[in-house]
Amino acid sequence: MTGTLSANEGQPQFVNETGLSRAELRDLLADVSDFLYREADLLDERRYTEWLDLLADDYRYTVPLRMNVPFQDVVAREETKALTEVCWFDEPKDTQVSRVMQLMTGVHWAEEPVSRVSHLVTNLRLKRVALPEVEVSSRFLVYRNRVSDETDIMVGRRTDILRQVGEDWQVVKRTLLLDQSVLMAKNLSIFI
Amino acid sequence: MTVEHTRGDPSAACESPQPPRLAAPAHPLPNREVAPLVDVANGEVSREIFVDEAIFRQELTNLFPRAWLFVGHASQVPNPGDYFSSWMGSDPVLLTRDDQGEVYVLLNSCRHRGMKVSRYDEGNTMQFTCPYHAWSYSIDGSLVDVPGDLHGVPHMKSAYQGMLDKAKWGLVRAPRVHNYKGLVFATWDSEAPDFDEYVGEFHWWLDNLADAFDGTEAGTEVFHGVLKWRIKANWKFVSENFLGDTYHGASTHASVEAVGIGPGGRGKRRHGERQNQGGFSKGRMKTSFRLGHGASDNLDYELPYPEFAEPELTEYFDNAWNKRSEKLRAEGRPLGGRGPATMFPNMSFAGGFPRSILVAHPISATETEVWRWFLVDKDAPDFVRTWLREYYMRYGGPAGMTEQDDMENWDYATQASLGVVARRHAYNYQQGLGREQLSTLEGAVHSDHAIAGEVNARAFYRRWVEYVDNTPQDELRASAAVDDRIPKIQERQAADAAEEARS
C-alpha cells in the first residue's frame, strides 16, 4: 500500500518519557480519569466558576473545522489549523472566562432556558507521560437537550494535556476533533 | 472588473442552441401568488412566506436561479485547478480557476446520471471525473474549448460509436459570473441584468467589504476555513437580520454586550465604537435600495476604526484609517458604509468590526444552512491577523458569542409561526412607515432614525414578491429603475413645508 491517511502514521501510540512502571501508569490513568470525570460533572452541574479553576492560565482550547478533502490532501488539510485558520474554537482561557460570564448574565438567550447537557468521556488512555504533564486521548459524546424537542449529539476525539498542580491536575490544552463538517447543531453555546 | 470569460462562447459551448427538448419550462407559472401576502403600504407581511413549503419551492424556482448569488471568494481558488464547493439556491456548484487564471462556476452534477462529480469541500485538480461511470470534465482550457466541458468518456467508441457530442454535454455552467474585487457572484439567468446594474449604488458597501482597511482596492482575502452550520429557521430571517435590523441588538445581544468581547476589551462595546465620538448611532440612518438590498448605515455615517486595548493595534488601524480617509476624500467619497448589510437575496456581510460574509443557503422553508467567511487584509501583519481571527471566532458563527443568540431567535420565531392560528397573523413591519428620507444615492431612501430599519425590510420583501411571482427580467429592471418611494417623500415634505408655512 502506498500513501497515508494519517499524520500520525508510524508514530508510537504511547510515549513514557518519565519511565513509570506499569503499575504506576495504571494508577496515573485512574487518577487522570477521575479528574476528567470530575471536570465533566462540574460542567454538567453548571459549576462554571469551579470549572474555570481547573484550567491552567496558559490554557488553550481548539476545535478545528473538519473538511472533505481528496485522499492525497487528508493528512495536510482535513482539519483547519490552530493559530492561523478559522476553527469552531481556538482561544485562550480568557475567552473561556468571557463565555462563562455570558452564561451567567441570565439574558444569554441561546442558553435561556438552560440546556440539559451530559458530557460522556470514554476510551481514555495515556498518550504521553512527561511529568508533570500527561497527554490523554479520549472520545467525547456531548448530549444537549433544550426547551422541548431540540437535541444535539456531538461526538469526536479529544486530546488533553494535563499538568500536575499540587495534589490535583489542570488542563493546559484541549483539542477536540468534532466528527462533523457542517455543524448540525444551531450553535455551540455550551462547552464541548 | 467585468465578467471574466474570454474564450469560447459560454452560452453556446455546453448547451444546444435550442432549449433542451425535455427540460422543464424555464419559468413555470407560480402555483400561488405571493403578492397578497406582502402589504408594503401598511407594513405587514404574512407568516406564510416564512413557513409554507409551496412558497419555498417557488423561491427556489423563481428567485434563486434568476438572482445574482455570492458563490465564494477568489482567494479560495488562487491557483489553476483550484476549486471550492458551494451552493446556489437548490444547486451544488463548483467555483473553479482555469489555467488562464479565470474563475468559472459549474453545476456539480454529472450530465450522464447526475452524480455529484466532486464531494470535496475544496481541492486542486485539472479534471473532475465522475465516480459513477467516469465521464470526465476538464477545467484546463487546453483540452476543451471552455473549462467544464466534457473531455473523457469511457468506451467512447464501443458504447457511443464515437458519436457522442461532447461539446453539448459539459458540466452545466453558470452563464454569468462576476468577480467583484475578489467577491465571486454568479447567476443562472442569461437575461438577468449586468452585475453592476443588479447591485446599483449598493456597490459602495461591497467596496468597503472588499477593499483593505486602508482603502487599497480589492486588498482583502479570506481566512482559510468556512463556518457551515444548520439552523431550523427560514432563510429570510437571516437576510433580514443583517439588512437593517439593528433594533434587535439591545435585547438579543444584551449578554455579549455585558461581557465585552470587542477591540476595547472587557466592558467595551463589541464593535469597538468610540464613545467619545458622539455615541454609536448619532447621525446614523438605514439605507434601503429599491433593488432589495439594504444597509444598517449610510455613507455619511463615518465611524472611525476602534480604539483597542492593545496600543499597537490602535496605531495600526489609526494609520489605516488616515490613509483611507486621504484616499477617499481625494475621490470625493464619504467614509461610511460598513454595514451590516444584505445584498438581495441571501448574502449578508459587514465591512468593519467584524468583517465577514454570510450566505443563508435555503434547505427547506424551515431549515437553512448558514456559511460564514472572514476577511482580512492581504498585507496584514501577523499580530493583526491573530487579533482579528480570534475576535471573529468569538464574535460570529455558531460558537460566536454574538451570533449564538441570533440563532435562538431565528429558530424559535420560525417554529412558533408554523401553527395554524399563528399563520393567520401577519408580522409587523411598520417602523418608520411614511417617515422615509431622501438619499443622494440612486434608487435609495433612508430611515428617519438610526434604529428604525424596517424601511429596508419593506423594500426587500417588495423585491422578493416581484421575483417569487416570476415577474420577467425586463419588468424587474423597469420596476427598479424608478424608485417610486422618492416622489412620495417629496410630496410629504412639500405638504409638511406648506403646513409649516401656514402655521
Full 3-state SS string of B81-126: CEEEEEEECCEEEEEEECCCCCEEEEECCCCCCCCCCCCCCEEECC
Q: Do B403 and A187 touch (CB under 8 A)?
A: yes
Residue spans per domain, chain B: 69-191, 195-489
Which of A90, A43, A55, A109 has its CA nearest to residue B257? A109
Chain B residues whose beta carbon lies within 8 Å of the beta carbon of residue A77: 122
Distance in Å, alpha carbon of A34 to nearest chain B alpha carbon: 28
Is B273:B352 a contact under the CB 8 Å cutoff?
A: no
Q: Do A68 and B252 touch (CB under 8 A)?
A: no
Is B109:B151 a contact under the CB 8 Å cutoff?
A: no
Of the partner residues A86, A102, A110, the one whose CB lies closest to the CB of residue B227: A86
Tens digit of pLDDT for each residue in A8-53?
A: 999 999 999 999 999 999 999 999 999 999 999 999 999 999 999 9
Q: What is the reported pLDDT for A2?
A: 75
Which of A166, A89, A152 has its CA nearest to residue A117? A152
Q: Which amino acid is at B357?
A: I
Alpha helices in B306-362 (DSSP H): 311-330
Angle, to 10 degrees, between the axis of helix B403-415 and the axis of helix B235-243?
Answer: 130
Q: Which helix (H) or strand (E) segment is A41 a member of?
A: helix A22-44
Of the partner residues A89, A98, A187, the one whose CB lies closest to the CB of residue B393: A89
C-alpha span between B148 and A19 (Å, rounded): 59
Chain A residues whose beta carbon lies within 8 Å of the beta carbon of residue B404: 108, 110, 187-189
Is B208:B338 a contact under the CB 8 Å cutoff?
A: yes
Q: What is the reported pLDDT for A124?
A: 98
Cell 403578492 sits on residue:
B35
Tens digit of pLDDT for each residue in A57-105?
A: 999 999 999 999 999 999 999 999 999 999 999 999 999 999 999 999 9
Tens digit of pLDDT for each residue in A129-185?
A: 999 999 999 999 999 999 999 999 999 999 999 999 999 999 999 999 999 999 999
Distance in Å, alpha carbon of A65 to nearest chain B alpha carbon: 7
Chain B residues whose beta carbon lies within 8 Å of the beta carbon of residue A81: 224
- CA dihedral defined by B124, B168, B117, B23, rounded to 10 degrees? 140
Q: What is the reported pLDDT for A90?
A: 98
Q: What is the reported pLDDT for B456?
A: 98
Grid coordinates representing B155 are 468506451
C-alpha span between B193 and B188 (Å, rounded): 12
C-alpha span between B413 and A139 (Å, rounded): 35
Distance in Å, alpha carbon of A170 to nearest chain B alpha carbon: 23
Chain A residues whose beta carbon lies within 8 Å of the beta carbon of residue B392: 86
Q: What is the reported pLDDT for B274?
A: 64
C-alpha span between B212 and B207 (Å, rounded): 9
Q: What is the reported pLDDT for B17?
A: 42
C-alpha span between B184 and B221 (Å, rounded): 12
Chain A residues whose beta carbon lies within 8 Å of the beta carbon of residue B258: 101-102, 105, 107
C-alpha span between A162 and A164 (Å, rounded): 7
**Which of B119, B127, B255 is most worth mutating to test chain A (most A CB atoms within 10 A of its CB)?**
B255
Q: Do A68 and B120 touch (CB under 8 A)?
A: yes
C-alpha span between B443 and B458 (Å, rounded): 14
Distance in Å, alpha carbon of A189 to nearest chain B alpha carbon: 6
Q: Do B258 and A189 touch (CB under 8 A)?
A: no
Say whether residue A83 is in contact with chain B using an 8 A CB cutoff: yes
Q: What is the reported pLDDT for A147?
A: 97
Grid coordinates representing A70 are 481528496
Angle, to 10 degrees, between the axis of helix A93-103 and the axis of helix B382-395?
Answer: 20
Q: What is the reported pLDDT for B15?
A: 43
At the topology level of CATH, where does B195-489 sit?
A: Naphthalene 1,2-dioxygenase Alpha Subunit; Chain A, domain 1 (3.90.380)
- Omega prior to A70 cis, within 30 of 0: no
CATH 3.40.50.150 for domain B69-191: no
Q: Give pLDDT tens digits along chain B (503 positions).
A: 344 443 334 443 444 445 556 665 555 555 789 999 999 999 999 999 999 999 999 999 999 999 999 999 999 999 999 999 999 999 999 999 999 999 999 999 999 999 999 999 999 999 999 999 999 999 987 778 888 999 999 999 999 999 999 999 999 999 999 999 999 999 999 999 999 999 999 999 999 999 999 999 999 999 999 999 999 999 999 999 999 999 999 999 999 999 999 999 888 888 877 655 544 566 899 999 999 999 999 999 998 999 999 999 999 999 999 999 999 999 999 999 999 999 999 999 999 999 999 999 999 999 999 999 999 999 999 999 999 999 999 999 999 999 999 999 999 999 999 999 999 999 999 999 999 999 999 999 999 998 888 999 999 999 999 999 999 999 999 999 999 999 999 999 999 999 999 98
Q: What is the reported pLDDT for B31?
A: 75
Chain A residues whose beta carbon lies within 8 Å of the beta carbon of residue B75: none
Going along chain A from its start, the domains and CATH numbers come out as 15-178 (3.10.450.50)
Q: Do A83 and B386 touch (CB under 8 A)?
A: yes
- ipTM entry: 0.97
Chain B residues whose beta carbon lies within 8 Å of the beta carbon of residue A144: none
